[in-house]
Structure formats: C-alpha cells, structure tokens
Amino acid sequence: MALRATVYRCELALSDIDRGVYGSYPLTLARHPSETEERLMVRLLAFVLFADARLAFGRGLSTEGEPDLWQRDDTGTIERWIDVGLPDERDLRKACGRAREVVVLAYGSRRAQPWWAANAAALVRLPNLRVLSIADDACAGLQALAARSMTLTATVHDGHVWLGSPAASVEIVPQQWLPAA
C-alpha cells in the first residue's frame, strides 16, 4: 500500500514591503511521504518570497519535470519556475528554456556548498536563473514553526523575512549566490 501525502494548512498574512504585496493567503500544502518538514517549510518560504495571486504549488516530488512552485500568465506561459533544494544542472537548463525566470532556493549548507561549487560555472551562463541560499539556522527556525494547521504572519523588508506564529518567530536572510540578470 502506497503512503499518502500529509496535508498542512496555513493561513498566511503577508506584508512584503519590498514588492508592495499585501494580503492573506489560505494555503494547502501536501507533504510527500519522502519530504521532510524542513523542505516543506522552505517551499512555504518560497511562496512568501514570491507571493502572487497566480503563484501555485506544483505536484511536488512525485512529478518529474515540474517545479515546486510556478506562476503562469493568462496564456499559460510560465513566468516563474521555483525549485527548492539542489536540482540537477540539466533540469535547470530545461527550466530556463521553459520559463521567463527560474529561481532555486538551496538549503542544507553541508550539501548546498559542494552543489554550488560543482555547478556554478554552468549555472552563471543561464541569464534567467537566480539562486538563493537559506542558512541552516533559518531552516531550523522554519521547521520549528511547522504544524499541520498554521497561522503565520510574514514581513519582507530590505531582503529580510520575518516569519512568525503566535508561539515563535524566525528571521531569514536569503543569500544571493546568483542574482537575477
């Protein structure tokens, strides 16, 4: 018998001062049986960083060739493709051919640093790719906020993200390894 995804619900109140985006987002996230809570919360962070009415979660780990989040325009063209983790360089090249902007949120510095060292030379040639790194302590703080039912507030200002629940909060400062061209 196949294991089923675990459903997480989040009521997110967002104030993104940097982009002028404000609103409440009722989110439903499915955690694949092989996905950690840390990765789930980094996907939620990706939503916070790029929140838009058209930004949607992909089908996740079970579907190859699909991002963790994506944003399409009215014609179906992919405006933004977001991958969480350490995707293969060939997959990123394909994604850059399909989307106007591709973003990677790398996390887990023990594996992310070698991944970046091995792939940086090829990735810098992709003009529509941006790579952000999330520090281990920020990921631990994100994971501490995880619950099957969450009420979170997020504030984004000057590149800093403050994400909090009634019980705890975490400050995240994504590092730009590869800024957008």
Question: Domain extents for the chain?
Answer: 7-178
**pLDDT category, 60, cuts 50, 70, 90?**
low
Dist CA 105 CA 86 (whole Å): 8
Whether 61 has a pLDDT exceeding 70, the answer reads: no
Predicted local distance difference test score (pLDDT) of residue 5: 85
| Among the listed residues 64, 65, 46, the one whose alpha carbon sits nearest the alpha carbon of residue 56 | 46
Q: Which two tokens stand for residue 104?
A: 């990677």
- Side chain identity at residue 95, one-letter code: A
7-178 folds as: Restriction endonuclease-like alpha-beta roll fold (3.10.640)
Whether 68 has a pLDDT exceeding 60, the answer reads: yes
Predicted local distance difference test score (pLDDT) of residue 4: 85
Q: What is the CA radius of gyration of the chain?
A: 16
Structure confidence by residue, pLDDT tens digits, 10-42: 999 999 999 999 999 999 999 988 899 999 999
Question: Does residue 29 contact residue 45 with C-beta atoms inside 8 Å?
Answer: no
Tokens 């790579």 sit on residue: 131
Structure confidence by residue, pLDDT tens digits, 121-152: 999 999 999 999 999 999 999 999 999 999 99
Whether 47 has a pLDDT exceeding 80, the answer reads: yes
Dist CA 133 CA 14 (whole Å): 21
